[in-house]
Amino acid sequence: MAILNDEYVKRYGGTLFLRIEDTNPHNILPEAYDMIPEDLEWLGVKVHEIVIQSDRFELYYDYAKKLLEMGKAYITTVPAEEWRRLKSEGKPTKDRDLPPEEHLERWDKMLSGDYDEGEAVYAVKTDLQHPNPAIRDWAAFRIIKDVEHPRLGDRYIVYPLMNFSVAVDDHELQLTHVLRGKDHLNNTYRQMYLYDYFGWKKPVYIHYGWVTMRDTILKTSLIKEGIKKGKYIGWDDPRLGTLRALAKRGIEPEAIRKYWIQVGLKEVDIEFSWDTLYAYNRELVESKAKRYFFVWNPKEVEIKGVEEIEGKAPLHPNIDMGFREYKLFSPIKIFVTMEDWEKIENGEIFRLKDLCNVVKREGYLEYAGNDLNIVKSGAKIVHWVPRDSLPCKVYMPDGKILEGYAEKYVENSINEIVQFERFGFTKIYKDRELVGYFAHR
């Protein structure tokens, strides 16, 4: 979604703020402070300013006090459950209409720690008769003592809730447009009360629909747990839908940007389409990915009937990038994938791509010349890899790991996205041995 914010700013001019909303110390991912800006940078989203809400508590407190003075907020000592019940009945708490002085006094007591957690809460008055119960008087500050904030430690015990801090920031930063999920619709209505009380100018709100990704885990809490339990190798595990995972697999930021731009902003829920994203990425990557052979589930076979074979394959079929060259000497042993091997009948002639023709025999291959015309008459084409190839593991998005061999020239393309012929686009890395992360076909 940051992409769409960025596009807005690009098209119409303006400033893009990245706001880190860390006002709930129970649920803060310390890694996120770095990960979010990094991810945005990778996406090419130009953030003009970063605002961290935990830096701004004093500001929220100022407005909180003003609102109390105006009589538009109150501090209730009624337990949460009872308050909720009263609201559903459209009734005020017993302390809602006490004079502002009393509430200001209570506010000071909140700040100084005289109340324990849950003993007092700061509420914004709206309309108790509002037909939508979700809109009636809402909590804006609460007391938290049992946990330290990763950035603030125990400096504050009164924490703003999202609706208050967000509204104050939106106004203070003079936002003109707010893009948020439609799950915030009611929050927008709630925040409007603050705008009205303070007489602020309202930004334009755009609410977009729910995005679902089939077969993909998006919830950060689940990911975090999975990583902790060792189920995932990290935030970039290829099974995940995180930006880091996509990056690792060689999905380019431009493809993601293009995808979201075409999806646009609507209040309808949408189902994310991997196919479409892959299509955009393929478009970007097709012309730069070098072609290599990778044989998974390898079957070793010997080619009999020749002493020496030479072959040559272009690194790209349509663009001049040079060649991979092969010289094989007797005994000539190669790998092909089991799938191919099993599909070919004994006695059938087929072509080893860019090498030669062979006939399948019981347990070996028989050299059959190098006449390309056999392909025209319907012979199968199979990719292969010489005996001296490098072991390579490819991680698939569904969690499968394919083991096999990649031709040694792949070493020239470490950290690049390549296309393993008849297999798919794969980003190559090397630690001790070659590993690939599969992007798409």
Partner RNA sequence: GCUCCGGUGGUGUAGCCCGGCCAAGCAUUAGGGGCUCUCAACCCCUCGACCCGGGUUCAAAUCCCGGCCGGAGCACCA
Binding site for RNA (CB under 7 A): 21, 23-24, 27, 78-80, 83-84, 88, 117-118, 121, 131-134, 138-139, 142-143, 159, 161-163, 182-187, 207, 209-210, 262-264, 266-273, 275-276, 278-279, 282-283, 286, 291, 311, 317-318, 339-340, 351, 353-355, 372, 375, 381, 383, 419, 421-422, 441
Report in angstroms how near the CB of residue 218 gets to RNA at its nearest.
Answer: 13
Report in angstroms how near the CB of residue 309 gets to RNA at its nearest.
Answer: 11
Indicate the residue among 173 and 185 with the shorter CB distance to RNA: 185
Indicate the residue among 113 and 133 with the shorter CB distance to RNA: 133
Indicate the residue among 89 and 411 with the shorter CB distance to RNA: 89
Report in angstroms how near the CB of residue 115 gets to RNA at its nearest.
Answer: 9
Report in angstroms how near the CB of residue 189 gets to RNA at its nearest.
Answer: 8
Report in angstroms how near the CB of residue 331 gets to RNA at its nearest.
Answer: 22
Indicate the residue among 232 and 326 with the shorter CB distance to RNA: 326
Indicate the residue among 237 and 420 with the shorter CB distance to RNA: 420
Report in angstroms how near the CB of residue 74 gets to RNA at its nearest.
Answer: 13
3-state secondary structure the chain: CHHHHHHHHHHHCCCCEEEECCCCCCCCCCCHHHHHHHHHHHHCCCCCEEEEHHHCHHHHHHHHHHHHHCCCEEEECCCHHHHHHHHHCCCCCCCCCCCHHHHHHHHHHHHHCCCCCCCCEEEECCCCCCCCHHHCCEEEEEECCCCCECCCECCCCEEECHHHHHHHHHHHCCCCEEEEEHHHHHHHHHHHHHHHHHCCCCCEEEEECCEEECCCCCCHHHHHHHHHCCCCCCCCCCCCCCHHHHHHCCCCHHHHHHHHHHHCCCCCCEEECHHHHHHHHHHHHCCCCEEECEEECEEEEEEECCCEEEEEEECCCCCCCCEEEEEEECCEEEEEEHHHHHHCCCCCEEEECCCEEEEEECCEEEECCCCCHHHHCCCCEECCEECCCEEEEEECCCCCEEEEEECHHHHHHCCCEEEECCCEEEEEEECCCEEEEEEEC
Report in angstroms how near the CB of residue 342 gets to RNA at its nearest.
Answer: 12
Indicate the residue among 231 and 343 with the shorter CB distance to RNA: 343
Indicate the residue among 77 and 233 with the shorter CB distance to RNA: 77
Report in angstroms how near the CB of residue 441 gets to RNA at its nearest.
Answer: 5
Indicate the residue among 278 and 395 with the shorter CB distance to RNA: 278
